[in-house]
Amino acid sequence: MNTIGDLFRLTTFGESHGPAIGGVIDGCPSGIKIDFDFIDKELQRRTTAQAESASQRVEPDRVEWLSGLLDGVTLGTPIAFIVRNEDARSEDYEAMREVFRPSHADFTYQQKYGIRDWRGGGRASARTTVPVVVAGAIAKQILLQQNIQIKARVLEIGGESDPERIEELLLRCRKGDDSVGGIASCSITGLPAGLGEPMFDKFQACLAKAMFSIPAVKGFEYGDGFKMARMLGSQANDAFGTTPDGRIRPMTNHSGGIQGGITNGEEVFFNVAFKPIPTIGHGNRHDVCALPRALVIVEALAALTVMSFKS
């Protein structure tokens, strides 16, 4: 329910304006020296990517480590960590108590639980991605030691892919007190062949599930994705060939590095569509586009997905 992964498993908890948010990582290999600076930098990517536009609460997000480490080295036991919600001004949200904000989760939480933490989105707040970023940063460190690299970038915002036009669009949104969606593109390189389970735990299936845990995500495609729905087989097929050093590998990569649900050793790449942030019309007290800040979350979830497979 609030857990992702199996062999490498993250359980998260916390409401936006409760005492703290945090997570428990179970199944982390022992003997890993944690790079805490890297984790802090990843957390900063989540908050400051759009510093100029973000009038949103910017907290230091100091991670407090509670267990699973001895002198900064993993013990193999659960790694628990929390981040305090120091800057919580619940009174700012008093108006939310009685209102279902458009396209937020206020209504559905009320329906499901008969009660909700109305302060700043509660459990449905984007703030709940903080533990994902922390755990993802640990996963990335471990993967990097195996030369597996994960990199997300902005593919387009509001349909624009030119940086200058994007900047212009964001400015217009800010002035108009509006927000805008976009698409992130992510690449995983260095993966060994053989990750993924054939039937229901296919590599792409677990990756998709992970991405849809991000509240704003409305679409996911991998390889040539939706474009393949318009292709002929003769255009879409990845024929195998032999490399100069005699290795068999596909000569093209429309498939996106996965066949039959199992990685084939090629680059895995995928796109993730974000809807516009629903909080608008409050006199600029909001971010106009979540996408730049979300890249680190996309990477984190990709890293957690890779770690959850037995290689």
Binding to a copy of itself in span 160-219, by CB under 8 A: 173, 176, 178-183, 193-194, 196-202, 204-206, 208-213, 215, 218-219
Residues touching a copy of itself: how many (CB under 8 A)? 131
The pattern of x and - marking residues 8 through 47 that bind a copy of itself according to CB under 8 A reads: -x-xxxxx--xxxxx-x-xx--xx----------------
* Helix, coil or strand: residue 177: coil
How far apart are the C-alpha atoms of 173 and 278, rounded to whole Å?
13
Closest of 243, 300, 208, 232 to residue 23, by C-alpha: 300
* Helix, coil or strand: residue 108: helix
57, 189, 190, 265: residue in contact with a copy of itself (rule CB under 8 A): 265
> Does position 59 bind a copy of itself by CB under 8 A?
no
> Does position 109 bind a copy of itself by CB under 8 A?
yes
Other C-beta atoms closer than 10 Å to the C-beta of 137 total 24
CA atoms within 13 A on the CB side of 220: 18
Other C-beta atoms closer than 10 Å to the C-beta of 178 total 14
Stretch that binds a copy of itself, among 33-41, 43-51, 52-60, 105-113 (CB under 8 A): 105-113
When the beta carbons of 49 and 183 are compared against a copy of itself, the nearer one is 183
Report, in Å, the least distance between residue 207 CB and a copy of itself: 8
Cα–Cα separations (whole angstroms), residue 208 to 198, 205, 214, 218, 266: 15, 5, 11, 11, 18
Cα–Cα separations (whole angstroms), residue 290 to 55, 83, 91, 279: 12, 21, 24, 11
Q: How far is CA 123 from the centre of its chain?
A: 16
> Does position 55 bind a copy of itself by CB under 8 A?
no
The pattern of x and - marking residues 222 through 261 that bind a copy of itself according to CB under 8 A reads: xxxxx-xxxxxxxxxxxxx-------x-x---xxx-xxxx
Report, in Å, the least distance between residue 104 CB and a copy of itself: 7
Report, in Å, the least distance between residue 126 CB and a copy of itself: 11
> Does position 280 bind a copy of itself by CB under 8 A?
yes
Stretch that binds a copy of itself, among 35-43, 49-57, 60-68, 142-150 (CB under 8 A): 60-68
Other C-beta atoms closer than 10 Å to the C-beta of 230 total 9
Cα–Cα separations (whole angstroms), residue 207 to 52, 69, 108, 198, 307: 32, 28, 25, 14, 11
Which run of H or E residues covers position 149? strand 149-157
> Does position 144 bind a copy of itself by CB under 8 A?
no
130, 135, 148, 273: residue in contact with a copy of itself (rule CB under 8 A): 273
> Does position 116 bind a copy of itself by CB under 8 A?
yes
